[in-house]
Structure 1
Amino acid sequence: MTTLDFDVAHLLSGLMVLVCFLMLYQDRLYSLLNTFALHAVVLALAVAWQAWIQAAPHLYVTAAIALLFKGVLIPVALHRLIRRMEIHREVETVGGVGLTMLFGLALVALSISVMLPVASAAGTLAREDLAFALSVVLLGLLMMITRRNAVSQVVGFMTLENGLVLAATGAKGMPLVVEISVAFSILIAFIVIGIFLFRIRERFDTVDVSALDTFRGDRR
């Protein structure tokens, strides 16, 4: 494995972390979905590069699944869902964007400081990719916690799953049957989430999850 292999792999993994911060910065749903599609494209490139340097052709299937489902189908479907449901298109956050970004930086620092010593027995490439992957997972979780809109929380969940895929491919890949089952799981979860959003919109006339707490308080 050459120095170029390491550099490109680290560049793509680092770009995934950077795009996570771009998603945390977005305040419009359409921009958030477009940025998530970019995140999926970078993930597909990172997985395809791992397939090349590991000589693991089955990882190309993982890259294709990420590009097709998360880079194209899901963002397009969410765009149509937003238009059809006439959802409020501003991303409402818990706290300010600046505070969220600071928390994100702290989580990245935590991921690096924890993962590098823990994975010291692994190879250099796998150890650093796992640190980046953990950063993506924690940033996706942060997005789910700090966003009040259900659609943006869905994006946070899928971002978290992107980090898990990056970790699995960096740790010498995963079986093809697992990749296919994960793709179908994502599709089923997306269908369920779509039904869930429609039900919230019909019942509360909004997809702001804080409306659930308000409604619960009104019933008391």
Structure 2
Amino acid sequence: MTIEQQDFYTQTILSLAALVGLTSFLMLGQGRLLRLIFVFAVQGLLLTLTTALAAYSLNNPHLYISAVLNLVLKVIFIPWMLRREVIQMNTHRDIEALNNNTMVMLGGASLMVFSYYVLHPIVQTTSPVMLNALALSLSVVLLGMLLMISHRQAVAHVVGFMSIENGLFFAAIVATKGMPMVVELGVAFDVLVAAVLFGIFFFHIRTSIDSLDVDLLNKLHEVDK
């Protein structure tokens, strides 16, 4: 069955899944931190639209609460917090020199192909939306890990960590047709706590080395008093 023969919900979910995967791929090549944060906010908006669409199509009203929480945390609060840190450190105009950017992008493309290759034998008997949703979710998780490995800035590491959570959240919404309300509230609370802890982490790094470049932490050493 081709995508044109699918219902509106399936077509829209497949389109949103492709866009979520594209945003994760775009984050790998971003050198400017503000652009990276913007792409992350766009990914959060896509997840919000996915959750709202699932709530409407599956007649699951509590998913609207998840959509609102996702909008507040991942589209507004966390990007605002990261943007404020970048501007306070005066690094919003700096371009991070990625180590072998071409290899990083090729590695990201390979991970997306690998995700489909691994999951296709497992879920080939299910619907196309299940296969694509799980494959894209796995690729988003792997690309988030690659983002954390390939970038030096602590802000990029936070975005990579949150992107991993986005991939898991997308799989949970699409594959399970909505998690129990208590689980969704627990996930939202964990994300909020992580954001607060990252803010404290940024503050201590900024006061210690006056930079968010984690490579500089290797130069720290104890001083005998």
Whether the TM-score (by the shorter chain) exceeds 0.5 is yes
Structure 1 residues 34-73: aligned runs within 5 Å: 34-73=38-77
1-side partners of 2:51 and 2:78: how far apart? 19
1-side partners of 2:40 and 2:195: how far apart? 15
* CA separation of 1:123 and 1:216: change in aligned 2, threshold 3 A: farther
**Which of 184, 188, 195 matches 1:183?**
188
1-side partners of 2:43 and 2:61: how far apart? 22
2-side partners of 1:3 and 1:20: how far apart? 26
Is the aligned partner of 1:15 residue 2:31? Answer: no
The gaps in structure 1 that reach 5 residues or longer are: none
Is contact 2:147-2:160 (8 Å) kept?
A: yes
Is contact 2:31-2:98 (8 Å) kept?
A: no
Corresponding pairs, count: 219
Identity %: 40
Residue 192 (structure 1) aligns with: 197
TM-score, with normalisation over the residues of structure 2? 0.89
CA deviation vs aligned residue, 1:20-57 (integer Å, no higher than 9, x gap): 12211211111111111111101111222222332222
1-side partners of 2:92 and 2:8: how far apart? 45
Is contact 2:111-2:142 (8 Å) kept?
A: yes
1-side partners of 2:124 and 2:77: how far apart? 38
TM-score, with normalisation over the residues of structure 1? 0.91
Residue 132 (structure 1) aligns with: 136
Superposed displacement of residue 122, structure 1: 4.1
Residue 214 (structure 1) aligns with: 219
The gaps in structure 2 that reach 5 residues or longer are: none
CA deviation vs aligned residue, 1:75-98 (integer Å, no higher than 9, x gap): 112112222233465353552322
* CA separation of 1:211 and 1:83: change in aligned 2, threshold 3 A: same
Higher alpha-carbon deviation: 1-10 or 163-172: 1-10
1-side partners of 2:141 and 2:209: how far apart? 31
Is the aligned partner of 1:203 residue 2:200? Answer: no
Is the aligned partner of 1:119 residue 2:106? Answer: no
* CA separation of 1:127 and 1:207: change in aligned 2, threshold 3 A: same
